[in-house]
Structure 1
Amino acid sequence: MARLDLQGAGTPCAGGTAQPEMLFQLGMMYATGRDCDMDLVAAHKWLNIAAIKGSERAAQMRAELAGAMSKAEIARALREAREWMTQH
């Protein structure tokens, strides 16, 4: 199982760029199956959160990824991202 320390994920650092980059990398990890099982819903979720926090690369990758997902998968990813944003 992949592990990433998200403690402090609500705290911007390095001018606010470290958090979106970390979230982008988490999304890419799930998108490619690097160190974990590939999970497009999780990948879309983390890329969406990174995009919301200002990552243009995440927004581009999220759009590409959405082309390989069903509408139900996209809806689930958006719901999970919204829930995470509400809690953090």
Structure 2
Amino acid sequence: MARMEMSAIPASLAIPMEASADAYYELGLMHASGRSGPVDLVAAQTWFNVAFAKGCARAAAHRTELALEMSRDEVAEALREARRFLTRH
């Protein structure tokens, strides 16, 4: 499974600071379904965490569902990446 550092996102693909929680939720869906390339559950979980923190209640169900398919280390990595993103944006 491909891993992606949140800081490795090209500036042209970065979401504006005023982006809605739904925009982050959509990013999670893209990574979970493979619409953005190979399926990346860590990135999907990261974006669902960000979306939930920003107020998107729908993201909670997807976070829970994905966590069942992920190792503890992967879930922890997604949480770290989400925290890192949220503290910078």
Q: Give the structure-2-normalised TM-score.
A: 0.81
Runs (4 or more) in structure 1 with deviation over 6 Å come to: none
Q: Whose relative contact order is higher, 1 or 2, with alpha carbons under 8 Å and at least 6 apart?
A: 2
Instruction: Letter of the 1:47 partner, please give it.
Output: F
Tell me how far apart the structure 2 counterparts of residues 31 and 50 of structure 1 sit (CA, whole Å): 14
Tell me how far 1:4 sits from its aligned partner. 4.1
Cα-to-partner distance string for 1:23-48 (whole Å, 9 max, x where unaligned) = 00000000010131110000000000
Instruction: Letter of the 1:71 partner, please give it.
Output: R
Give the equivalent residue in structure 2 for 1:55.
Answer: 56
Q: What's the Cα RMSD here?
A: 1.4
| Percent sequence identity over aligned pairs | 46
**1:32 has 2:33 as partner:** yes
- Report the number of matched residues: 78
Q: Give the structure-1-normalised TM-score.
A: 0.82
Q: Which aligned pairs between 1:4-43 and structure 2 lie closer than 5 A?
A: 4-6=13-15, 8=16, 10-11=17-18, 19-43=20-44
SS at match of 2:24: helix
Ranges in structure 2 where 5+ consecutive residues have no aligned partner: 1-11
Ranges in structure 1 where 5+ consecutive residues have no aligned partner: 13-18
- The structure-2 alpha-carbon separation of the partners of 1:72 and 1:27, relative to structure 1 and needing over 3 Å to count, comes to same
**1:83 has 2:79 as partner:** no
